[in-house]
Structure 1
Amino acid sequence: MKINIDMKKLLLSILTLVAFASSSTVAQTTKIDVNIKGYNDSTLILGYYFNQKMLVKDTTTINSNGSYTFTSDQKLDEGLYIIYLDDKSYFDLLIGADQDFSVTTSKTDLLQQMSISGSAESADFLAYQRFLVSKQKEAEPIQEKLKVSNDPQTKKALQDQIAALSSDMKSKYETTINKHPDSFLSIFLKATQEVAVPQMQAPANSSNPDSAVQRMRYDYYKAHYFDNFKMDDDRILRTPLFAGKLDQYFKKVVLQMPDTIIKESHRVIAMANGNYEMERYLIQHLFNMANESKQMGMDAVMVSLGETYYLSGHADWVDDEFISKLQERVDKIKPNLLGQTAPDFKMQSYTEEYYKLSEVRAEITILVFWEPECGHCEKEIPKLNDEVWKKFKDQDIKIIAVYTQWEKDPWVEFIHDKELTEWIHLYDPHNRSNFRNNYDIYSTPVVYILDKDKKILAKRIGADQIPGFLNHYFKLN
């Protein structure tokens, strides 16, 4: 097997790696003898999977006999490890409870020539890998024939062969996990299995049975998505499966609505059931996912997780500086979350009139913060006029454009040059409204869309996205 990996970067990561230590580690020794025939006087790296990455645990130079012994005064955290060779070939090595064992293989075929003695759990994982590879090889020609076959009897015979292979793999899976109950091997193999959704029947009074069954199947799949993962066991973190499975749930399975994601985030975190490392990982991962999201409204998820787990003092792994910065960020975001009433303000126009946001009457108010010297504003503001104002001004909308600076002349000149005089143009020369904090203005342009009650419907939306949003809104209302 081959993997494209920069060995220099991998070696360099040793200098910065901080091992994700399990609270269950006990003071026992680890001794793993590795012998690779035909491979000597070269670099050997022991790595492990974590958070969709492969991290380095140890590195050494294998001797002239192709041998090396990994030793440690403490047991390694159980998980799926990787042995890398400097020609970029590698093999997976399951390290479970038994950590005094030997691995022998040959450079010519790392997997098929491998043998493991001293750890039944590791050896049975190797046997399971080989079994799957052999069944996949058997299935390939059958699947190719199935693609081109047009004869019903032939197709049926080929499908029966595939079903028999699937049955063999299922039997091997069940035999392996039953032989090692509660082991890391059992936990890992169970996690590789997809949730089986049972056949369902729509209620008798359903007006659209197909749609009802589809919804029932979705609800079941969502509710049972993590059934095959032991969520209160942090050993599952050290596999290539968990982070991807978690991301898929929150990005593909769960409806992309802030309230739904907030509810599901708390539900999934609770599945850790007090396991410190698992809970810590889930909190960090879901918080970072929300914080880095470009999707509108996901800042509400960040605020909820931040307040519940970080600002409450629950997350004891972060320092005071992080808490202070997070509190400041939450204070700026919270007043302008979707669904909140937009913070009121009173500002003056370039014609010396005063306007209060709450007193501007319109079905839709588009509130834009901008400045003429901003390169992006020079493009977006005229586009907002041409693509939004001119097309929707007869549908009871108003545009309030807040100038974020103080020099009046360039502002007024831009308004007239771009023929924006039908908008309401305001500014706050004495900084009395606190709009920068209330609306989280750290760059321009920033657009908010408000309903007739000045509740925030959308924010940080581009001018080219607004027509579609307004068409949808007016269609529903």
Structure 2
Amino acid sequence: MKYLKFLALLIFSFAWRQNVSAQAPAYQISATIGGWEGESVYLGYRRGDKVFSRDTAELKDGRFTFEGSEPLPSGIYLVLMPPENKFFEFVVMPGEQHFSMAVQAPDFSSSLTFNGSPENRLLLEYQSYMSEQVAASKQLQEELTNAAGKEEKTALEKKLEEISQAVRSHQNELAAQHPGSYAALLIKAFQEPVIPDPPAGDDGTFRWQFFKNHYFDGFDFSQEVFVNSPYLKQKIDYYISDKLTAQLPDSVIVAVDYILEKAQANEEVFRWTLPYLLNKYFVPEVMGLDAVFVHISDKYYATGRADWVSEESRKKITDDAYMIRGVLLGKKAADVLVQPYDRKSYSFSDSLISLYDVKADYTVVFLWKPGCPHCKKTTGELIPFYNEWKDKGVEIFSITSANQSELDKAISDINYEKMPWIVTADPYMRARALQKFYGVSLPKIYLLDKDKKIIASRIGPEQLPKIIGEHKRRLAEENR
């Protein structure tokens, strides 16, 4: 009996090992690279405009093989060849995780072939077709630019239109024959809407509005493949740019909410899109659009919708939003009571001064830190500005970040730099001046009008004259 039990156990153990060894890897992608003498390559993938590393493969039996126990997320992948990091790209989809590739140096892209990947073969065929059409269209465009007569121009324009129609017809046919393929998804994602003739009485905005309303019609937000590619970012960036969205907080907020609503069709798409938009408007390219950051924080992070974010990260985001909210354009600046620097006693007075005690057409609030090289540079740039503008209705109200133990260091900087304007401190943080002006990173400059409304935020000294000049002109036009 013991012998039979031992034999059964032995057979089970052998069968188990045989089963494990027979299991194929979740993904296995091999590449043969002719004419290249490297011994190892990297597998990378795209996310937005960045490339990340995923795997490494060593040369074995004339090929490089990437494999793993978990399927690869769908997306655009690259084989990178060190040290020059030359590369070629391919697509990975859920149903195609086992295939091989072959390329020949030095022209990796044009020599690329696939075995066992209909998705990539179809994509290559489409890309080849489009390259031919783009080249033909470019040639006709050059001829059109140099055309002399009206008849010649008309003929060339007709040929261009024929190419455009042929391309669209080819795209529609490919998408219909291969629904759900990556090539079809890509075609639909970037195929522009056909704009009908505008109605009678159109004020000239119909075409633009129709294009914007139907811009995302073909883009499938439920497809995770677009996360690991440049295309989700490209589509979003164009939509929220000044080409389709007015660069005003209310307009951008509407656009952002519209995108995020669509992005929730796929959790991974939403997880990429939400932080991308949050970070984009944390330090926005257009002044005033930090209001979009505040909105995203309030609606998606403070409410717990971004449930994958740690409590520490969520608190950092919402704390930043709380402070930024107080310095948004159009808001009245906080009425802080701080200690002024007394130039006679070379110390900070115990009496307090309010920002609102300053009577000026324009007040520059300058936050700085003792010993900070960038702050010293900004101070040096502000001094000639102040000397030119102090008699033109401009005052500078500076607040040092110095605490009680750093006051001597601040005083040294004040005297060394010969700061000619109002200098103050909040060493015991009773006024919370730094917090109220979002003084997390310094230096920082805000520009206030005579009513102490914020008209410019987080700007450089070189921008002040232009902003003040434009504001004065705008006021003059309003008062005509």
> TM-score surpassing 0.5?
yes
Equivalences for residues 163-312 of structure 1 within 5 A: 163-200=161-198, 203=201, 212-213=203-204, 215-253=205-243, 254-293=245-284, 295-312=286-303
The unaligned stretches of length 5 or more in structure 2 are 1-23, 476-480
Compare 149-158 and 238-247 and name the one that shifted more: 149-158
Give the Cα–Cα distance (whole angstroms) in 2 for the partners of residues 297 and 57 of structure 1.
Answer: 38
Deviation at 1:185, TM superposition (A): 2.9
2:91 match: 94
Worse-matched range after superposition: 276-285 or 66-75:
66-75
How do 1:64-463 and structure 2 match up within 5 A? 64=61, 66-67=62-63, 70-85=66-81, 89-99=86-96, 102-103=99-100, 105-107=102-104, 115-139=113-137, 141-200=139-198, 203=201, 212-213=203-204, 215-253=205-243, 254-293=245-284, 295-347=286-338, 349=340, 350=342, 354-358=352-356, 360=358, 363-369=361-367, 375-390=376-391, 392-393=392-393, 399-402=396-399, 405=402, 406=407, 420=420, 426-428=424-426, 431-442=429-440, 445-463=443-461
- How much is the aligned-residue C-alpha RMSD, in angstroms? 3.7
Identity of aligned residues (%): 26
How many pairs are equivalent?
434
Question: 1:449 & 1:243 partners in 2: Cα distance?
Answer: 33
Contact 2:333-2:448 at 8 Å conserved across structures? yes
Cα displacement string for residues 220-253 of structure 1 (whole angstroms, at most 9, x for unaligned residues):
3333333332123222122232223323333443
Aligned-residue offset at 1:174: 1.2
Q: Distance in 1 between matches of 2:186 and 2:163?
A: 22
Q: Deviations over 1:19-41 (max 9, x none)?
A: xxxxxxxx994444555566687
Unmatched 5+ residue regions in structure 1?
1-26, 205-211
Match of 1:383, as an amino acid? P
Between 1:281-290 and 1:166-175, the stretch displaced more is 166-175
Moved more, 354-363 or 119-128: 354-363
For residues 238 and 412 of structure 1, the distance between their equivalents in structure 2, rounded to whole angstroms, comes to: 51
Q: 1:176 to 1:70 in 2, by over 3 A?
A: farther
Amino acid at match of 1:247: D
Separation of aligned partners in 2, 1:183 and 1:225:
21
2:469 matched residue in structure 1: 471
Moved more, 221-230 or 194-203: 194-203
Distance 1:329 1:79 in 2: 33
- 2:78 and 2:87 in contact (8 A); partners too: yes
In 2 relative to 1, CA 40–104 (structure 1 residues): closer, same or farther, beyond 3 Å?
farther
Residues 446 and 456, structure 2, Cα contact 8 Å, conserved in 1 = yes
Question: Is residue 360–residue 450 contact of structure 2 (8 Å, CA) maintained in 1?
Answer: yes
Change (3 A) 1:318 1:236: same
